[in-house]
Copies of this chain bind each other. A is one copy, B any other.
């Protein structure tokens, strides 16, 4: 029954947040125990996958019974590093940047927007929520006071790489890129991407090739 601890497969990591969300819902409904089958249903995945994924955490279920919702919640949270708070900076406050800055559910668990940056003088000084937009040149100064863990890039593609470089220079180790551009970062930095037009093009493919297949995937791209 001892779960193997170590080297959690990438595909598993990508699913843990999904499990976590369903577990929160179960907990909110005062459900205390859940089977792999039930959890799998809620997450739209296969039950064997759930069990194998959870076994990587060394998580204890109870044979013949299932998993304790509270225990799983805290184990997955810990594994994902959601106990600590992660400081986020958003660079680029166009439409998307604004939407991201206003996104509730950041704060939800463990994420806190501590910096908003733009290069356009007309946007500097604007308050978005409780945070004032500063010039991207101030990034190092802000990061010196409040170390930034995660940088979100929401600028036009042509300047995305230089923004990434600045974030890295400011000590950021995780980047989420919304710009439609391929970025390169040093190996110690994790990078994931969200690209709307790529998503649409993939959908276009499967629309055209009616009867398209399609298991499931998770967004982004990472390096570390």
Contact surface of A with B, Cβ cutoff 8 Å: 10, 13-14, 16-18, 20-22, 42-44, 79-82, 84, 86, 88, 94-96, 98-100, 102-103, 105-106, 108-111, 149-150, 173-176, 180, 182-184, 188, 190-224
Most chain B CB inside 10 Å of its own CB: which residue of A173, A201, A221: A201
User: Chain B contacts of A192 at CB under 8 A?
Assistant: 199, 202-203, 217
User: Chain B contacts of A109 at CB under 8 A?
Assistant: 197
Q: Which residue of B lies closest to A182 (CB)?
A: B44
The answer on a CB contact under 8 Å between B216 and A218 is no
CA of A86 to CA of B205 in the docked complex: distance in angstroms?
11
CA of A201 to CA of B79 in the docked complex: distance in angstroms?
10
- A-side interface mostly: mixed
The answer on a CB contact under 8 Å between B103 and A196 is yes
Contact of A43 among B110, B182, B202 (CB under 8 A): B182
Whole-angstrom distance between the Cβ of A165 and the nearest chain B Cβ: 15
The answer on a CB contact under 8 Å between B197 and A105 is yes
- Oligomeric state, in number of copies? 2
The answer on a CB contact under 8 Å between A150 and B13 is no
- For the complex with contacts A80-B208, A95-B103, 6 further pairs of A-B residues with Cβ separation under 8 Å are A14-B198, A96-B99, A192-B202, A194-B194, A194-B196, A217-B222
User: Chain B contacts of A10 at CB under 8 A?
Assistant: 213-215, 217
User: Chain B contacts of A175 at CB under 8 A?
Assistant: 203
The answer on a CB contact under 8 Å between A190 and B214 is yes
CA of A88 to CA of B43 in the docked complex: distance in angstroms?
27
Q: A203-B150, A217-B217 are in contact. Are A224 and B211 (CB under 8 A)?
A: yes
User: Chain B contacts of A200 at CB under 8 A?
Assistant: 86, 88, 106, 111, 150, 176
The answer on a CB contact under 8 Å between B42 and A182 is yes
Contact of A222 among B79, B96, B202 (CB under 8 A): B202
Q: Which residue of B lies closest to A196 (CB)?
A: B103
User: Chain B contacts of A176 at CB under 8 A?
Assistant: 199-200, 203
CA of A224 to CA of B81 in the docked complex: distance in angstroms?
34
